[in-house]
Homo-oligomer: A and B are copies of this chain.
């Protein structure tokens, strides 16, 4: 790859500069695509690509039939910045505290802001129930006895292979293993390529469940700094692995949790090349890949892997139903080792549910549903950003997620979200404190909010009251009035 920026990147950079410099004001309409193409002697598709990049960076927004507009300033609140991380791997010890946070957050009457769960009304629950009834009648042999070796349904694997065309595939059918959830997939992959005591490179901040997995498997975590927009620093990973000693790399390239970052293709390619060259297996969680907030389905790191080094894990819990309990791994050259772990971890996976999922994916309804869902999540994330911007302290930094539906917030330095969590709970408010995303306890002034629900007045009020707890501007005024 040349280091020279591509034409569209150059144009995007120029326009971003105009926005940053105030030459283009918030809410202002940008010159039309046609005009820019003419003026700059670029093709229309290059200009469109530049606009998409600006959209993905949250700087402009498309309005139907009207063109592109500079996004309002409240959307442009400062974003969190990459932080430097400890040099040494360390054991993880967050599970006890995390369980408390998630259990408390799931109590009836508590605002649903902690676990990353979608609202029911966004999911195709009725269609799935109908399919269960139909599949149970139309395939009367699915529950027959059989070796777990033969339990994976070819019909489901076919659909996954078909869908993998959008991920830079097709991936070979032989690579797939059907499992009970994305969590189980991550688990199996980790067990397949590590031994207790090993070190695993993770994002900083990292998805807490990944940290819990390391904790329970007796693995150490090495935090790699992340850019809030573009994810894990490949340079930092390169430096951290130059002397060996890292058994695997565990990451979410598309819609990291909690940052919502999205690795650009070039970075993915470099990461795939580096890890392959150094023999470090990559375990990639792509559960938010279908829930990107930009225009195109981003490819996973797996798409840039030429050596079978990347294990791609995902499920349909975030977009169809968290209750289905079907996930998968495309395990590359680790297939045999992962399949063995599956056998001794839980045996096979329910074939009837597999067939329900296969038929739903085949129906075509899934793509309509995903388009609609992405629109909802995008609106919900934006509404949450606006609410946080309104109610939280002025110096608050707000992430600009590129995929998924969680929002990472950085409060002023002196605010301790772990300490304030109990107070929030007493007021039936919840969130996940930032320190639970780091084995070294970084991010104590950060928190993660779930945006899986429509932004109702109740949720807006919950954010207002959270703002009060964190000493937010409007909050202070509110308190004064009250």
Known: A123-B145, A125-B141. A151 touches B323 (CB 8 A): yes
Q: Determine whether A130 belongs to the interface, using a CB cutoff of 8 Å to chain B.
A: yes
Contact A349 B321 (CB under 8 A): no
With CB as the reference atom, state the residue of chain B lying closest to A150: B106
Is A348 positioned at the interface, with any CB of B under 8 Å from its CB? yes
In whole angstroms, how far apart are the Cα atoms of A202 and B183 in the complex? 29
Indicate which residue in B95, B144, B148, B325 contacts A344 across the interface (CB closer than 8 Å): B95
A366 at the interface (CB under 8 A from B): no
Cross-chain contact B145 with A322 (CB below 8 angstroms)? yes
- B213 contacts A344, CB within 8 Å? yes
- Chain copies in the assembled complex: 2
Quick check: is A146 within 8 A (CB to CB) of the other chain?
A: yes
Q: Cβ of A195: which chain B residues have Cβ within 8 Å of it?
A: 218
Residues of chain A from 114 to 173 with CB closer than 8 A to chain B in the complex: 115, 117-120, 123, 125-126, 128-130, 132-137, 140-151
Residue from B103, B106, B325, B350 within 8 A of A324 (CB atoms): B350
CA distance A226 to B119 in the complex (A): 53
Asked whether A346 is an interface residue with its Cβ less than 8 Å from the other chain, the reply is yes
Task: Assess the A346–B140 pair: CB atoms within 8 A.
Answer: no
B340 and A99 form a contact (CB under 8 A): yes
- Please determine whether B142 and A184 come into contact, CB atoms closer than 8 angstroms: no
Q: Is the CB of A323 within 8 A of B136?
A: no
Asked if A308 is at the interface (CB within 8 A of a chain B CB), the reply is: no
Q: Give the distance in Å from the alpha carbon of A133 to the alpha carbon of B352 in the complex.
A: 11
In the complex, which residue of chain B has the Cβ closest to the Cβ of A106?
Answer: B147
Contact A115-B147, Cβ < 8 Å, known A197-B196, A344-B183: yes
How many of A's residues come within 8 Å of B, CB to CB? 70
Is A323 a contact of B143 with CB atoms below 8 Å? yes
Asked if residues A144 and B120 are in contact (CB atoms below 8 Å), the reply is: yes
Distance of A4 Cα from B397 Cα, bound (Å): 77
A343 to chain B, nearest CB (A): 7
Q: Is the CB of B325 within 8 A of A349?
A: yes
* A345 close to B (CB within 8 Å): yes
Contact of A183 among B135, B217, B346 (CB under 8 A): B346
A347 within 8 A of B: yes
Q: Verify B322–A352 contact, CB threshold 8 A.
A: no
CB distance from A135 to the nearest CB of B (A): 8
| Least Cβ–Cβ distance between A280 and chain B, in angstroms | 21
Residue of chain B at shortest CB distance from A215: B344
From B135, B213, B345, give the contact of A187 (CB < 8 A): B345
Query: Is A102 an interface position by the 8 A CB rule?
Result: yes
Cβ of A261 under 8 Å from chain B = no
Q: List 14 A-B residue pairs with CB atoms under 8 Å apart, sorted by A's residue number.
A: A102-B149, A117-B147, A120-B144, A129-B142, A132-B132, A144-B323, A146-B322, A180-B347, A181-B346, A187-B345, A218-B218, A325-B350, A350-B353, A352-B353
Q: Which of A's residues lie within 8 Å of B, judged by CB?
A: 95, 99, 102-103, 106, 115, 117-120, 123, 125-126, 128-130, 132-137, 140-151, 179-181, 183-184, 187, 191, 195-197, 209, 212-213, 216-218, 317, 321-325, 340-341, 343-353, 452
Other than A99-B340, A323-B350, give 16 A-B pairs with Cβ distance below 8 A. Answer: A95-B344, A99-B343, A106-B147, A119-B145, A125-B140, A128-B143, A133-B137, A142-B323, A143-B324, A179-B346, A187-B344, A191-B216, A209-B344, A213-B344, A325-B347, A325-B348
